[in-house]
Structure 1
Amino acid sequence: MTLLVIGLSHRSAPIDMLERTTLDQPRSRALRDRLAATQQVREAVVVTTCNRTEVYADVVTFHGGVTEIGQAIAEVTDVDALTLRDHLYVHHEDRAVSHTFSVACGLDSMAIGESQILGQLRSSLRQAQTGQEVGPELNALFQRALRVGKRAHTETEIDDVSLSLVSAGLDEAETVLGPLAGLSVMVVGAGAMSSLAVATVTRAGAREVVIANRTEAKARHLAEAYAARTVPWSHREEALAAADVVITCTGAAGRLVSREAAERTAVLRGRRPQVYLDLALPLDVDPAVAEVDGVTVVGLQRLGELMAADGLVPAQVQQVRDLVVEEVAGYLAARRVQAVAPTLAALRSRARSVVEAELQRFDTRTPDVDEATRRQVELTVHRVVEKILHTPTVRMKEMAGTDVSGSYAEALHRLFDLDPHTVAAVSAATVDPPVDLAEPTPVLEADPAAEGTDTTEPGLNEPGTPELASTGTPEPTSPEPNHPTDLALETTGARHA
């Protein structure tokens, strides 16, 4: 198995490229179908959000998987592969796990620490489970990632950092309009980012906060929480004229505010200064709106530049990074132990079949032996086999995750003539059923990858076998922004991070 993450995000691509590659439901479905038809991809989960399009996959080979996934993304998004390759990043094995956990914690989001990504990951996994496109590798990875993301929000103060994007935009607005206190603010949308915006401007003392959303019930619910008022979606353009600051957070297809609408609004306002803060992707506000006299547009690209220039890493972010490093180390250690479990189970299965055959031979040759003697012979044989298998079993677990574990497993295969089909069958039998993702924030208690579930078959237990305390796994590197190497890959040209 080879774990890959291939995609592009606000860290690797400009806004216009992200808009071109954002997937709606039909295109997301098309990409999943395209991946299912490839030769290299065994499992796949497609994650598409307002600032990322990514494929998480278990593939047969690294280069083959990168090539086929890159081609699939290019075909579905209708972006030339040569153009796309300059913006794609590739994370492989350990770094793929680290990236997944970082995404779940909101560390890779444009609004650092935002929790909406958990719901998006959950939805992506649910779709893959429904389409039977996910198996043991990605199911375990995403279950663990969801749990890590939940830990980040419950055990650290990362939620405070998610306000930084909104705050940076409002700081820009204040440079044009002066303090927010006394100004009128209109928020278009009622999602997580809109809630942050409403909370922030309310605390800043905005004179009036108006919310417009396609689903009016959601707008009313948000407005009631902050003593704001709502306007019908059909009347949103009229409400623009009364707003000094307009914050858009819908990411809907097409532009919600055109240049013509902004021009009409500016005339009604007598050209008084107005700021549009566009936090959506795809963009809600036509970039041409910035050409209207008296209007300033602040978009995600500008905000990204401002936050990058700041260069400060809040303590909360470092807390979550440390948590991710800890979780990645634990996951990789358990994953390596789980990788050798089928070999151990097959070894015990082989031993059991030998014991059963010899006991049948004993019964045939000594039919007159009484039951008590027969049971004593059976117990003795089992004890002998236990003692013989105990040491190689313990050594196998101790060596899991080391450079020689693979050769040791191969040696066991050869020495004990283990049937590859038996090993594969045992491996398949240890797969967990898909997680129930109905709840908005599930507590995923059963996670074999996390707990290092012992898949040893019953019947030949290991009395006194010590628990695997340490695999000697090197501490993984702390997640960082995309740093691709110079390894150019065919067709997609994606770079191995």
Structure 2
Amino acid sequence: MTLRIFSIQHDRQGLSEVERVSGHIPGITERLQSFPDVNGAVVLGTCNRVEVMLETAADVPNHCLRALLNEGIDEQPSWDLFLGEAALAHVFRVAAGLDSMVVGEREIAGQLRRALMDAQDSGRCSLPLGIAVEEALKTSRRIARETSLEGAGRSVVNTGLDIINLPDWPSARVTIVGTGSYAGAVVAALRARGVRDIAVHSASGRGAEFAASHHTSHSPCLASALNGADLVVTCRGLGSTEVTVDDVAPGMRLLDLSLQHDVDPRVGSLPGVTLVDLAAIQGAVGPGYAEDSERAETLVRAGVAATMARLRARVVDPAVVSLRDTVLAMVDDEVARLPQRQLTKEDAALALRRLATRLLHIPSSRARQAAELGRTDEYLSAMAELYGIGDEPAVDPDELETGRCPVTDMKICDLDSTTTREAM
């Protein structure tokens, strides 16, 4: 079992790359389902990231998985790859919003939960991968309870709008430039503040379709779209400036939600003009939450450690199941050999001795083989590990009487009723 995450992130590859790869998510999901060595897959696509979370056979080459992910994508994405414990830590950080544009934002946890449910409903999610994501979500909820990061973790859009702080939102005229990842969230956030006059402009030609689907007006000309706007929100993220110094009127407010600047940064120095970008948003919420961020990181480390221990334990599940089936089959066989009459103490003792002899036969034979091969110390160490043979008893006698066996899930007192029931 190996956890792997192939990732495209807003701060590493850029929002335009996130948007480009997001368009191929349905094809990626189908290809992963058909690949035999992928045991489980959860695919998360948001405005800020694409995360392909996999649980695979250990010997699958990474280049094979990359080829699978890149199939059908013209320009090959530069995926970041996380493996093993690093992959698990990445899931936890994503779920907690620690890698988001605004640290602690809570939308990502809901998006990850929906991605997990989709994978489970379609039968794509393996048990280890489900455990990893569920535990990450639990830690995310704990961080929300035990820190105040949730207050800082409002969406990037709402945080930016809070900083802009128009005096009268319902009467404001707002222009959205671009139909990129944030555009839909911008429309929803503006409507939640009572804004009714929303226009959309897109140089890509998608503006009319976006405006129709989001019930806004469409401005095919940038100059007319900017003219008279109280607020301009840009969310293209294409790596080139769309709004220049010459486009901006005095008193205009602008919110640039692109990592690569849709608005010329010099606009911010114009008299009477307000420009808020992602750096300003992060700077506004970050300093006051340093202690909470440190607490969140501590919770993430603890959650990762506990989950890694749980996942490692699951590796021996097939061996434990086989051991349980073998031992219980021996018990059933000995029960079937009991005489069909009222059992005596001698009958029970004979049955137990036969069972003990059968259980000890293979370990005893292997002990002799180990001694002949000069592996005595190694074998004795294994015996101590498996059976608790050593200076100190492995199990307290009282605990043995009252506790349940991790293999059979039975208490010692259950044996009396089981034996009696089977013998009658």
Tell me if 1:109 matches 2:116: no
> Compared with structure 1, are the counterparts of its residues 89 and 31 closer, same or farther at alpha carbon in structure 2 (3 Å cutoff)?
same
Alignment of 1:41-120 (within 5 A): 41-61=38-58, 64=61, 66-80=62-76, 84=77, 87-120=78-111
Q: 1:158 to 1:384 in 2, by over 3 A?
A: farther
1:125 Cα deviation after fit: 1.2
Alignment equivalent of 2:30, drawn from 6, 30, 33 = 33
Indicate which of 166, 189, 192 corresponds to 1:222.
Answer: 192
What is the Cα deviation at residue 373 of structure 1? 2.6
The one-letter amino acid paired with 1:317 is S
Q: 1:231 aligns with which of 190, 197, 201?
A: 197
Instruction: Work out the CA distance in 1 between the residues paired with 2:186 and 2:309.
Output: 48
> Using the alignment, how far apart are the partners of 2:232 and 2:412 within structure 1?
67
The answer for the alignment partner of 1:426 in structure 2 is none
Aligned residue identity for 1:77 = I
Q: Which residue of 2 aligns with 1:156?
A: 147
1:323 aligns with 2:299: yes
Query: Are the equivalent residues in 2 in contact too, given 1:40–1:68 (CA < 8 A)?
Result: no
Equivalent residue, structure 1, for 2:134: 143
> 1:116-164 deviations in whole A, cap 9, x for unaligned?
101111121122123221121111111111111111112111123336x
Could you tell me whether the CA contact under 8 Å between 1:45 and 1:124 is conserved in 2? yes
CA distance in structure 2 between the partners assigned to 1:240 and 1:408 by the alignment: 76
| Alignment CA distance shift 1:378-1:107 (3 Å) | farther
- Residue 4 of structure 2 corresponds to 4
Please state if 1:457 is matched with 2:417: no
TM-score (norm 1): 0.56
Matched to 2:408, the amino acid is E
Structure-2 change in CA distance of 1:161 and 1:217 (3 Å): closer
In structure 2, the residue corresponding to 1:208 is in which secondary structure? coil
More RCO (CA 8 Å, sep 6+): 1
Deviation at 1:45, TM superposition (A): 1.1
Q: State the partner residue of 2:313.
A: 337
Alpha-carbon shift at residue 69 of structure 1 (Å) = 2.4
Q: Which runs of 5+ in 1 are unaligned?
A: 164-191, 393-403, 413-452, 464-497
How far apart are 1:296 and its partner, in Å? 8.5
Indicate the SS of the match to 1:326: helix
Query: What is the DSSP-based 3-state SS (H/G/I as helix, E as strand, rest coil) of the residue aligned with 1:107?
Result: coil
When normalised by structure 2's length, the TM-score is 0.65
Q: 1: CA distance between counterparts of 2:253 and 2:163?
A: 16
Q: Check the 8 A contact 1:290/1:297 in 2, yes or no.
A: no
Q: How far off is 1:313 after superposition?
A: 7.6
Check 1:374–1:357 CA distance in 2 against 1; reply closer, same or farther (3 A cut).
Answer: farther
Secondary structure of the corresponding residue to residue 5 of structure 2: strand
1:262-273 equivalences under 5 Å are: 271-272=249-250
- Structure 2 counterpart of 1:373, from 322, 339, 344: 344
Distance, in Å, in 2 between the alignment partners of 1:298 and 1:69 is: 40
CA deviation string 1:192-221 (max 9, x = no partner): 43333344444xxx4233486869995686
* Structure 1 residues 290 and 230, CA gap change in structure 2 (3 angstroms): farther
Going from structure 1 to structure 2, the CA distance change for 1:155 and 1:274 (only over 3 Å counts) comes to same
* 1:172-321 correspondence to structure 2 within 5 Å: 192-202=155-165, 206-209=166-169, 210=172, 218=188, 222-223=192-193, 228-231=194-197, 233-235=215-217, 240-248=226-234, 259=242, 271-272=249-250, 274-279=252-257, 300=278, 314-321=290-297
Shift of 1:236: 7.0
Deviation at 1:316, TM superposition (A): 1.2
State the Cα distance separating 1:272 from its structure 2 match: 2.1
SS in 1 for 2:100: coil
Q: Deviations over 1:436-467 (max 9, x none)?
A: xxxxxxxxxxxxxxxxx996334x5478xxxx
User: Is 1:355–1:382's contact at 8 Å kept on the other side of the alignment?
Assistant: no
Equivalent residues of 2:104, 2:149 under 8 A apart: yes
Q: Deviations over 1:90-120 (max 9, x none)?
A: 2211111111111100011122111110111
Q: CA RMSD in A?
A: 4.7
Whole-angstrom CA distance in 2 between matches of 1:13 and 1:376:
74
Corresponding residue SS for 1:77: coil
Q: Contact (CA 8 Å) 1:248, 1:277: kept in 2 or not?
A: yes
Identical-residue share of aligned pairs (%): 24
What's the CA shift for 1:32?
Answer: 0.7
Per-residue CA deviations over 1:304-343 (Å, capped at 9, x if unaligned) read 9x86xx9998111111000101111111222223333442
Query: Within 2, Cα distance between the matches of 1:313 and 1:219?
Result: 24
Amino acid at match of 2:197: V
Unaligned runs of 5+ in 2: 175-182, 199-214, 364-377, 387-403, 414-424
The higher radius of gyration belongs to 2
- Inter-partner Cα distance in structure 2 for 1:215 and 1:336: 40
2:114 corresponds to 1:123: yes
Structure 2 CA distance for partners of 1:454 and 1:236, relative to 1, 3 Å: farther
Structure-2 change in CA distance of 1:240 and 1:230 (3 Å): farther
Q: Distance in 2 between matches of 1:462 and 1:330?
A: 30
For the 8 Å contact 2:89–2:300, the answer to whether it is kept is yes
Q: Which moved more, 1:109-118 or 1:235-244?
A: 235-244
Partners of 2:338 and 2:351 within 8 A in 1:
no
**Is contact 1:58–1:137 with CA below 8 Å preserved after alignment?**
yes
Q: Is the 8 A contact 1:104 1:149 kept in 2?
A: yes
Mapped to 2, the partners of 1:197 and 1:382 lie a distance apart of: 76
Does the 8 Å CA contact 2:158/2:189 hold for their aligned counterparts?
A: no
Q: Are the aligned partners of 1:36 and 1:133 in contact in 2 as well (CA < 8 Å)?
A: yes
